[in-house]
Every structure is written in C-alpha cells, then in structure tokens.
Structure 1
Amino acid sequence: MFEQMQNNSQILIQLQGLNDSLASRPIFVLALTSYVFTVLVNLTLIVTVCLDETLHQPIYVFMCNLCVNGICGASSFYPKLLYDLLADHQVITYAGCMTQMFFTYSYVFCEFTSLTVMAYDRFEAICRPLRYRALMTGQKVVQLLAFTWSLSLMETAVGIFLLIRLPLCKRHIPKVFCTNWEVVKLSCSSTVANDMYGLLLVVLHLLQAGLILVSYVHLVRTAVRSQSDRRKFLQTCLPHLAALLVFTASLLFDTLFSRYAGGSMAALQNALAAEFLVVPPLVNPVIYGVNLQQVRTRIRLRFILRTGT
C-alpha cells in the first residue's frame, strides 16, 4: 500500500469542470465576493455569540459550530477554484486532491451530524423543558460537539484510507473539484470495499435523517399545545429545518448529477456540483441571524454601537 501511495503521489489530476466555461475570469470576481461574504456572515454570528454572555446557551453554541463547519466547507472549495479561474490549466496534485476531499467530506458529515445534534437539543428543550437545563449542561454540550467532530473525522479518514490504496489509471475529473465518486472512477482495480463503505455511510446518515424526522413529529405535537411552545418552535426549529432542507437538497443535486447526468448536461452538472459547498455555508447564518430574535437583536445593537448612529 505504501508503494501504491508513492506511485499515486506523482500523478497530476486534470480538473475539467471549467473547460466549457467561456467566461471563467469574470466569474472570479463573483466567486471571490461569494467567499468573502460567506466567511464574513459566519464570523459575524460566531463573534456575536462568543462576546455576548446572554447567548451562551446550547442552541447558540451549536449554531456557532454549524458556522465554523460552514467556513471549513467553503474554504475547502473556493481557494482552489479562485486559483483555477486565473490559471491556464486546471490541475491538482494527488496529495492536494486527497486533502481537498478530506476537508470537503469532513464538512459534509459534520453538517449532517450537527443538524442531528441540534434536532436532539430542540427535542429536549420543547418536549422535555423541565429537565432540559439539568440535562443540557456545559459538559454535555462539549461532549456532543466532540462526538460530532470525532465521528465526522473518523468517517472521512476511513474513506480516504480506502481511496489511497487504489491504483489510478486515468487522470481526468469532469468537475471543478475532487470528489470520492470521481476519483474512484479513475481506478483500474476493484472498488468493492469503497462501494460497500459508501453504502454504509448512506445508511448511517439516513438513520440520522430518520432521527431528525422522528424528533420533529414529537416537536410538532408538543408545539401545538401552547402558544409559548409554538413561538419557541417557530423561532428555533424552523431555521434548523430550513438549514437541513437546503443542505440535503444541495447534496442530492450533486449526487444525482454525478451519477446520471450525461454529456449534454455537463454545464448544469458542473454548476450544481459545488452547490452543497456554496449554498448552505452562505444561507445558514442568514437563516439563523434573521429568525433567532436574540441573535438578530445583538447583531443590530453591535452594529449601532460601532457606527455610532
């Protein structure tokens, strides 16, 4: 295996996702603006929560974790894209490809697990309010965050380990960034272990989606009982549900087009391929910043104090 890794490390992979783009350089300004704005809106929420002690509550801590993960996801994609938009040839080293995939899939798995943890938090807060404070302590929050990142990094590490053992016979990826599915297709040996592990991950995250669905069934039943529960559901659960739907839809687009889109749909496929790395990190902080009244109020107050108006 070590010898195979050394052989693969000499490979330069050609990224062909920009080949059909006739206006790649003008897109540079749009991509740079999107990246900067994504980082700024996420940092705004993170800094607001960190500096305001009234926001040191589990739901806001988990929201910050989602924002940190969003920055990681966007940063696994934009810097390489920005470089390629100005370069004459879009290539990436084998090590660079593996590194990009490690951060990309860590972001994907962490997003799913974070949303599952947030659903659990909302379930306890609304369905079992009397025991919520005793249950969701600072130590419990830290444990949940550690579990989220540990599971996500472990899932990614195993996937990368299964990839690096494969010999590559081709060097062209029809996308603007590296993905597991495309790299596996470059191999000239059996990929059964990779396929089985991919199926295992699908089942695991479908179970997470099932847990979220079950929690929301209970949340809706509880929320209709009183006005205060309905208000809490609308303010904290709807943003979470919106974030989940945005991320799932974005990831689904990439999965479907990676497997079933034909050559005639290459432009659309390349546009949708990066949606899960572009849209959720940009939209999530906006959704939470607008819907969570306490966060919105603190951001407005901080902005007013800074501008002196």
Structure 2
Amino acid sequence: MQETPLFLRVGHFLHYAMSDWNTTDFTNPSTFILLGIPGLEAAHIWISIPFCAMYAIAVLGNFTILFIVRREPSLHKPMFYFLCMLAVTDLVMSTSTVPKMLSIFWFNSREISFSACLTQMYFIHSFSAMESGILLAMAFDRYLAICNPLRYSMTLTNSVVAKIGLAVVLRSGILRLPYPFLARRWPYCRTNIIPHSYCGHMAVVKLACADIRISSYYGLFDLFSEIGMDLFFIAVSYTQILRAIFRLPTKDARLKTFGTCISHLCAILALYVPDLFSSLIQRFGQNVPLHLIVLIVSVYLLVPPVLHPIIYGMRTKQIRGRLLQLFAHKET
C-alpha cells in the first residue's frame, strides 16, 4: 500500500511513459529502472559528492596497499598476502556499484539490463562474503603468529595461503549462485522499477509477483551460516589469542602483542557491523523510511573499502613506514 504513491511520485523523473506500469504483463523485463535514493532525487548531486570522494579514497587506498606489498620484499608474508586479497575484494565490490550509482546521480542514467542487474547482484553479495572469509583467514594468521609462533612459517606456506584464498573464492562464489538464479525464475508482472541505487538481492526479488519466501529464507540461511560461521571461528581464534596474551609475563609484552591484532579487529568491525545492520534492516525495517534504508545500505558498500586501507595504513608499521619512505622520496 505504501509503494504505489512512491512510484507515482518519482514517475516524472523517468524519460518515457510509465502510466501503465501496474498493468504491464511481462515475465522477465529487458531492463530495470534504478531510482537512486527514492524521495531524495533533488539532492542526488549533493549526495554524489561524498560517494565520489569515498570511492576515490577506496580505489587509491587499496591500490596503494597492493603497490606497496608488491614492491616491498619484506612484506611478502602470509599476513600481507591476505591483506592484498582483502584489497582486491574491496576494489571489486565498490566498483561493482559506485560507477552506476554515480551515473544515476549525475546523468539520470537509471536503466540497467536484466542480465547486468543480476550480474551486479552476484558480484556484490559474493565479494562481500569473500571479505568475510578473508577476515577469518587473517584471524587464523593472528592465532598462529601469537599462539604457535614456531609453527607459523611451516604452516602458512605460500601454497597454503593460495589454497585458503581459492577456498574462500569457491565457497562464496558457489553459495551466492542461487541469488541470481532464484531472482531470474520469478515472474515480474507488476513493475520493473527498483527503488534502490543498485541491484541488491532483496531489492530485486521484492518486485516479483510470486511467493519469494525461498529467496528470503535462503538469504537469511546464507547470512547466518556463512557470516555466522566466520564470526564463530573468529571468536574462537581470539579466545585462544587472549588466553595466550594474558599468559605473557609483563604488561608491556601483553600490550605489544595485542597491538598486532588491533588492525584486524577494526577491519572486522568495519565489515560485520554495517553488513548485519543493512541485511536486517532490509528484511525487517518496515517502519523505517525507504530513503533512509537505501541510503544506509548504499553507504555500507563503501565503508569497508574505505576503512580497510586506512586502518592498515595507519596501524601496520611496515606499510606506514613504506608510505613515509615513498612520500619522502617524492619530496627529495
């Protein structure tokens, strides 16, 4: 009952007639229409400024991480290999959404083909899950470094790191495949207008004129099984890490050892808090204004890619030192 007034209100922003959208009969539309931030169309130009700035920071920061690790032989270690994997996933996830988002804000380019919409959906959700898997791998790295330092180099060899990375990619890629396949099989006989800035899973399937409970239930199952499992094992790792830290003889040793985990803990918070919040608000935030939901979910996609390079650039001594060397070299 609340959607129809919204569609009528934003209809004048479209460049073609949509007067019969509620009676059109189609199974799979050739295109979807992304509205951006519904209800805030007049402010799209202003909204685009922080989004563009955050995207620029994310791209520059993550490419800088990749460049520094590649150029510095002393950083060719498992911890930094995982950090590079995290940087790549951040780049792909943000690039999957922000350029299209900015084209809506700047050029009113709202159309996206049905296949491109499902492809964007798959990339967003699969790479978001990959970030979770990489953070779990980084927790395992910290566990070995602190709890079993003598076995660290023997356990986390280059081949093991590569296998962990492959396992993360395969797990996320396979578990997220049902999202676009389920979305494709639903009939869309009411409207092809997505009141959103990108093709998220729930934003698309809510348009279907069918019982979409299987999509919703699978999304929740995937969220709590995959993300929940990662959080569980991260919690187990840090339980063991804290036990090892408290057994250290001096306070300085305990603080120094715990300091090696701060960057990873901040990266965990930067990913999981917005992820869980955005996933739950899309499913259960019926009383939250639509424009606020869309704005929160859109910002969420840029929070981890922006914060991760800043966190590791500021907190990781080796990367911070290499950055200072680069800037000092340019000044001379």
SS in 1 for 2:58: helix
1:162 maps to which residue?
182
What is the match of residue 310 of structure 2? 286
Summarize the alignment of residues 99-178 of structure 1 with structure 2, pairs less than 5 Å apart: 99-169=119-189, 170-178=191-199
**What is the identity, as a one-letter code, of the residue corresponding to 2:228?**
L
SS at match of 1:113: helix
TM-score (structure 1 length as normaliser): 0.91
- Are the equivalent residues in 2 in contact too, given 1:74–1:278 (CA < 8 A)? yes
Compared CA separation, residues 16 and 46, structure 1 to 2 (3 A): closer
> Structure 1: which 5+ runs fail to align?
1-5
Paired amino acid for 2:90 = G
**Which sits farther off after the overlay, 167-176 or 260-269?**
260-269
- Structure 1 residue aligned with 2:90: 70
| Aligned position for 2:324 | 300
Decide whether aligned partners of structure 1 residues 157 and 262 sit closer, same or farther in structure 2, where only a CA change above 3 A counts.
closer
Q: Is the 8 A contact 2:27 2:188 kept in 1?
A: no
The reply on whether 1:187 has 2:212 as its aligned counterpart is: no
Greater mean deviation of Cα atoms: 286-295 or 250-259: 250-259
CA RMSD of aligned residues (A): 2.0
Q: Indicate the residue corresponding to 2:54 in structure 1.
A: 34
> Secondary structure of 2:301's partner?
helix
Which segment is superposed worse, 188-197 or 126-135?
188-197
SS at match of 2:177: helix
Alignment of 1:255-266 (within 5 A): 255-262=279-286, 265-266=289-290
Runs of 4+ in structure 1 off by over 6 angstroms are: none
| 16 and 305 in structure 1: CA distance in 2 versus 1, 3 angstrom threshold | closer
Distance 1:188 1:59, change over 3 A: same
Q: Distance in 2 between matches of 1:110 and 1:31?
A: 23
Match of 2:263 in 1: 239
Deviation sequence 1:236-292 (CA, Å, 0-9, x none):
x11111111121111123123312334662332222111321111000111111111
Letter paired with 1:114: I
CA distance in 1 between counterparts of 2:226 and 2:288 reads 34
Specify every segment of 5 or more residues in structure 2 that has no aligned partner in the other structure, as ranges.
1-25
Kindly indicate whether the alpha-carbon contact (under 8 Å) linking 2:87 and 2:305 is maintained by their aligned counterparts in 1. Answer: yes
Residue by residue over 1:85-136, the C-alpha shift from the partner in whole angstroms, topping out at 9 and shown as x without a partner, is: 1233633221221121111112211011111111111111111111111111
Aligned to 2:278: 254
Question: Once structures 1 and 2 are overlaid, which stretch shifts more, 43-52 or 199-208?
Answer: 199-208
TM-score, length-normalised on structure 2?
0.85
- Greater helix proportion: 1
- Residue matched to 1:3: none
Counterpart contact for 1:224–1:230, Cα < 8 Å: no
State whether residues 29 and 192 of structure 2, in contact with CA within 8 Å, keep that contact through their aligned partners in structure 1. Answer: no
1:20 aligned to 17, 40, 53, which one?
40
Per-residue CA deviation, residues 218-252 of structure 1 (Å, 9 max, x unaligned), is 111111222546423312x1111111112111112
Say how many residue pairs are matched: 302
Query: CA contact under 8 A between 2:136 and 2:230: conserved in structure 1?
Result: yes
Separation in structure 1 between the aligned mates of residue 254 and residue 131 of structure 2, nearest angstrom: 26
- The structural deviation recorded for 1:203 is 2.0
**Distance (Å, rounded) in 2 between the aligned partners of 1:267 and 1:162:** 26
| Counterpart residue number, 1:46 | 66
- Report deviation, 1:51: 0.6
Cα separation, partners in 2 of 1:286 and 1:277, compared to 1, 3 Å: same
Quick check: which has more Rg, 1 or 2? 2
Report the alpha carbon displacement of residue 18 of structure 1 after superposing the two structures with TM: 4.2
Q: Is the 8 A contact 2:44 2:105 kept in 1?
A: yes
Q: 1:274 to 1:28 in 2, by over 3 A?
A: closer
Structure 1 pair 89–133 and aligned structure 2 pair: CA distance change class (3 A): closer
Q: Which moved more, 1:164-173 or 1:51-60?
A: 164-173
Distance in 1 between residues matched to 2:148 and 2:167, nearest whole Å: 22
